[in-house]
Amino acid sequence: MLRRLNVLVSYGTLGARCAEVLRPDWDVLLDSGAFTNFNAKRDVVTLPAYANFLTEYGRGFWRYMNLDKIGDGDTGRRHFEMLRARGLTPVPVYQRGSPLSELVDMGHASDLVGVGGLATKGRTGKVDFIHAVSAFARARGIRLHLLGSGHFQRLKTVRPFSSDCSDHNDVGRYGNIRIWDPRRRVDVDVRGYASITHPKATPMSLELAQIMKFYGITLAQWRDRDWWSSAPGRRVALLARFHKAECLERLGVKFFIAVGDAEETANVWDEYVAARAA
């Protein structure tokens, strides 16, 4: 079982409330909110505000990412040096498309380097890039954290030091869900087994029956999009990520789960710990 939960919180989403997520049995990775700024096309997170927050609370986090600027390496490097000048230790972020010499420099400056540009949909060559940059870093002893990368087989192959993913939150935002099958060690798309709009399109299978039994889900719940968006459905989505993190931990990958609702995550975590200890 997991002895500690690895969680990711974003300063771009929670701001100063990120400090409320800190728990003695959690390793909390702080995302700077660079992706939030990118999507908003403005500085939702400013460097002075982020630096002040880190000065006060930074030591409580497992690591915290540099406030880089997607598509602007010069700004990212400047922010990194400004934070370091204040005695802070941000994790630099290597952006896809940058020269590999930058990755080497970052590896000299920090014991962990984030790799960005992986979560954006529609970009081609992502898989090849992940394999190439991972091999390059491994040969030079650089530890990588893959930002927004949760594909199990890929993580199993490249074995980064750590990774994070927020796709379990899709159940609340988009009605999508991929649930971890602990027997076969794969993520299973709910819609891949039983269409929500045409529930009889896909017959029951042994694999589906085993997954439902493991998580205590009925077939009616599995096929109900609204149920997955409810508190019981979100609970199952979180439990599934805990079990996936268990498996990745055995492979030497520290897997961080993005937290949407800290209180809900804490309740499900306490339930998981009690069940595994029983």
Question: What is the chain's pLDDT, residue by residue, as a tens digit (278 residues)?
Answer: 899 999 999 999 999 999 999 999 999 999 998 888 878 788 889 999 999 999 999 999 999 999 998 877 888 999 999 999 999 999 999 988 889 999 999 999 999 999 987 765 555 578 899 999 999 999 999 999 999 899 999 999 999 999 998 866 655 555 567 889 999 999 887 766 554 444 454 556 788 889 999 999 998 888 787 888 889 988 998 999 999 999 999 999 999 999 888 999 999 999 999 998 87
pLDDT at 197: 47
Q: Confirm whether 267 is domain-assigned.
A: yes
pLDDT at 136: 97
pTM (two decimals): 0.90
Give bridge partners of residue 29 from the DSSP assignment.
8, 63
Q: Confirm whether 191 is domain-assigned.
A: yes
Classify strands 178-181 and 186-189 as parallel, antiparallel or unpaired. antiparallel
Q: Confirm whether 131 is domain-assigned.
A: no
265 close to 13: Cβ distance less than 8 angstroms? no
pLDDT at 193: 57
The region, left, alpha or beta by phi > 0 then psi within -120 to 50, assigned to residue 252 is left
Closest CA relative to residue 114, chosen from 261, 219, 240, 254: 254
161 close to 197: Cβ distance less than 8 angstroms? no
Q: Confirm whether 213 is domain-assigned.
A: yes
Q: Which two tokens stand for residue 42?
A: 């403005």
pLDDT at 147: 92
Q: Cα(239)–Cα(142) distance, rounded to whole angstroms?
A: 31
Q: Confirm whether 140 is domain-assigned.
A: no
Domain coverage including residue 212: 175-253+263-278
pLDDT at 40: 79
Q: Confirm whether 104 is domain-assigned.
A: no
Q: Confirm whether 156 is domain-assigned.
A: no
76 close to 93: Cβ distance less than 8 angstroms? yes
264 close to 237: Cβ distance less than 8 angstroms? no
Number of structural domains found in the chain: 1
* 102 burial type by CB count under 10 A (0-12 exposed, 13-18 middle, 19+ buried): middle
pLDDT at 74: 86
Q: Confirm whether 230 is domain-assigned.
A: yes
pLDDT at 276: 84
